[in-house]
Chain A
Amino acid sequence: MNDLKALWLTAKTDSLPDSHQMVQLIKKFRNKKLLKIGALVLAAILLTATMIWVMFVYKSIMLTTRIGEVCMLIAGIILITTNLNSLLRFYKLKECSNKEFIQFLEQTRVRQQFYYQKTQVVAMIFCATGLLVYLYEGVYQNTLLCIIAYSATIIYLAIIWFVVRPRTFKKDGRKIAEQIAKLESIAKQIDQ
């Protein structure tokens, strides 16, 4: 074993950045990351604010429009809170052993599966219903416009629901299932 230890220590480590370079690298990384998160949060806030603003500026006469606005707002809030929550879980993670970390990752993947199977579906139902009822006030007086607007919206929603979502779900779902299986096998290695 001592021979192996001596051999192990011969690994060349001079390709690593020195401590000053590392500090520079971290600062650059931190700024980039903060900017990315900031932009994401800002975009979400702007979108929500715009929707609320439209609700107050555009005085709708029909209840369906209000229901539509509220439904889309709910969908937005569901997506923002779940995404923000999953982001914060990693930031809140305290010091932990490999065993605890593997459990945390497994939990994360199970939550992700739940998100795809349940949360996302609920949000999409709210969003689609919202969009469909919201449109009504704008087009109900013109039959042709009504048919065109509703056909286009329904085709769009059908593509998202029957083509885009199953495709991404199939790809990501398989990846998540593989990761869960891998994490389970590592957890077993610790318990053996």
Chain B
Amino acid sequence: MMDFEELYNQYSPQIFRVCMGYINDPEQAKDLTQETFISVWRNMSTFRNESKISTWIFRIATNNCLRAIEKNKRITKVELPIHLPDVPEETQEEKLTFLYNCIAELEEIDRIIISLMLEDLPQAEIASIVGLNHGNIRTKVYRIKEKLAIKFREHGQFE
């Protein structure tokens, strides 16, 4: 069993990015990350290795994200402009904001799945976090990729 600080150092950046993908607001993503680790701390003694520790932590984090709708946390949705001017050199930060905005337009579960995919989690693990079977997750991943590709194509980004 790893100790808390080790877990925190290893997983907090990943959890922050996943929360950011879901909520699209750095402050709220930070709060959600902290809430996740408060739950991790509280439940560490009851963790029984029935699943991988990463699955356990990502489940806590994504459930926390889903609960955010109950706390009336707003999901930042920025309307994407129809025609973006052709900017030859976009900064990394602008590209990342564009990615977050595209994800923000997806439905809740899709936002969770794509964020976990971008964290490079295997599909089987994503399926067990969300509560889907393997076949379903494959279809969902395919659909999400399509949706994102359409959004990028529409806005002439990342061809």
Contacts and interface: CB of A to CB of B under 8 A. Distances in A.
Contacts of B51: 95
Chain A interface mostly: helix
Contacts of B60: 95
Contacts of A3: 158
Interface string B17-60: 10011000010001001100110011100110011000010011
Secondary structure at the B interface, as helix, strand, loop or mixed, is helix
Contact of B30 (A8, A15, A102, A186): A15
B5 A23 contact: yes
Contact of B99 (A4, A23, A100): A4
Interface string A1-45: 101110111110101110110110110011000000000000000
B12 to A, nearest CB: 5
A149 B66 CA distance: 50
A11 B20 contact: yes
B118 A8 contact: yes
B109 A22 contact: no
B24 to A, nearest CB: 11
B67 A17 contact: no
B72 to A, nearest CB: 8
Contacts of B5: 19-20, 22-23
Contacts, number: 113
Interface in A95-122: 95-102, 105
Given A98-B109, A98-B130, A99-B131, A7 B13 contact: no
A7 B131 contact: no
Among B60, B69, B128, which residue has the most Cβ atoms of chain A within 10 A? B69
A34 to B, nearest CB: 11
B99 A8 contact: yes
B69 A179 contact: yes
Interface of B: 4-5, 8-9, 12-13, 16-17, 20-21, 26, 30, 33-34, 37-38, 41-43, 46-47, 50-51, 56, 59-60, 62-63, 66-67, 69-70, 92-93, 95-96, 99, 107-110, 112, 117-120, 128-132, 145, 148, 158
28 contacts: A1-B117, A4-B158, A7-B99, A8-B17, A8-B118, A10-B92, A15-B26, A16-B12, A16-B16, A19-B5, A30-B42, A94-B46, A95-B50, A95-B56, A96-B59, A96-B131, A97-B59, A97-B129, A97-B130, A98-B112, A98-B129, A101-B66, A102-B66, A105-B70, A186-B107, A189-B108, A189-B109, A190-B131
